[in-house]
Structure 1
Amino acid sequence: MFLIIVGYFTALSLLAFFMMRIDKAQARKRGQRIPEKNLWTAAIFGGGIGAYFGMMVFRHKTKHTNFRVGFLLLAAIDVALIIWSYQTFNR
């Protein structure tokens, strides 16, 4: 069960990370952007770690306090849930 949970968080984090990359690239060339609600949705449903690292690596949305604080908080919640699932299911 633990591996399934880690796989879920990994998949959502990768999705959120690459969504940040794509949105940054689109912003640079003034292309069609990924709506902010989609970035938040990916982060809320388990991609907080990837969203936060994507924001930092690509320097995207870093001037927005709600993204900096929100993605960091969601990443911390994701880490806590992974630790909890390890302690609960990996016995």
Structure 2
Amino acid sequence: MEYFFTYFLLINAITFAVAGSDKYLAVNGKFRIAEKTLFTLAFFGGSVGLLLAMLIFRHKISKGSFIVKFVAILVLQIAWAVVQLSDKI
């Protein structure tokens, strides 16, 4: 369980930093980080970091297609967590 917590903190910190960097790049008209990269990081556990970055940096919050895909990842993760927890009970 300790490794899971460490992984969770690390992947979310990385995701937050990558999303923040993408916002910085967007504001300055530079080469952007692919949405696929952000979704991959979120899928592998960084959804909290991406959500925080979206709220704090106001990044990608008006892009409907991004929100839909992000919510789909969240729903899958919540469903996975419920299944995992129900096996423990």
Q: Unpaired runs of 5+ in structure 2?
A: none
Q: TM-score, normalised by structure 1?
A: 0.75
- 3-state SS of 1:11 partner: helix
Question: How far does residue 71 in structure 1 lie from its aligned partner after superposition?
Answer: 3.4
Moved over 6 A (4+): 79-86
What is aligned with 2:6? Answer: 7
Q: Unpaired runs of 5+ in structure 1?
A: none
Q: Quick check: 1:39 aligned with 2:38?
A: yes
Segment of structure 1 superposing worse, 72-81 or 22-31: 72-81
Q: Count how many residue pairs are aligned between Structure 1 and Structure 2.
A: 88
Which one has more relative contact order, counting CA pairs under 8 Å at least 6 apart? 1
Q: Quick check: 1:29 aligned with 2:17?
A: no
Which letter does structure 2 place at the counterpart of 1:41?
Answer: T
Using the aligned pairs only, state the percent identity.
30
Cα distance in 2, alignment partners of residues 84 and 4 from structure 1 = 20
What is aligned with 1:52? Answer: 51
Q: TM-score, normalised by structure 2?
A: 0.76
Segment of structure 1 superposing worse, 51-60 or 69-78: 69-78
Which letter does structure 1 place at the counterpart of 2:38?
Answer: L
Q: Quick check: 1:17 aligned with 2:16?
A: yes
Which letter does structure 1 place at the counterpart of 2:45?
Answer: G
Segment of structure 1 superposing worse, 3-12 or 59-68: 59-68
